[in-house]
Homo-oligomer: A and B are copies of this chain.
Amino acid sequence: MINETEIVLDKTDLHILRLMQDNARISNADLARELGMAPSGILERVKKLEQKNVIQQYTTRINPNALQQKMLAFIFMKASDGPGSDQTTLELAKIPEVQEVHHIAGDDCYLIKVRTYDSSTLMHLMRNHFSKIPHILNTRTTIVLETVKEQQQLVIPEK
């Protein structure tokens, strides 16, 4: 595994990342034009960024409402195996409706983000999946009423 602290990104890399973060479908030729370089040089850099796992995925953000996915919830979980163990988190991460799994500081051990069609689907998920994962002692669910902003764009420095 590559030591991520050793990755050095120059001004050109950061510029590529900024453009691709905003539009993953930008053509290699357009990237080259923006940067004033030859397309082949850009292609090489992009491939290296993918290899180094700086670029993790090209993904399409889909409107959850278009798929009638109206329920979004954050669930805090206290677990008996503590944040050191991976078993519980891996079980949770396997569930496709679970978008995020974090170890957190404080009393609760995990925070997960779950998206489903409606409240009954969420209840079903909790009853049939979460409750079967060992070590989960209790859960505290926060229901989202309305989402004002939701994106994963990072703030990428100029240099």
- Chain A interface (Cβ < 8 Å from any Cβ of B): 4, 7, 9, 17, 20-25, 52-67, 69, 72, 74, 83, 86, 89-90, 92-93, 96-106, 111, 115, 142-157
Contact = CB atoms under 8 A, between A and B. Distances in A.
B142 A9 contact: no
One complex includes copies of this chain to the number of 2
B58 A25 contact: yes
A103 B147 CA distance: 6
Contacts of A92: 148-149
Q: 3 shortest A-B CB distances, which residue pairs? A: A24-B58, A93-B149, A24-B24
Contacts of A103: 144-148
A154 B57 CA distance: 15
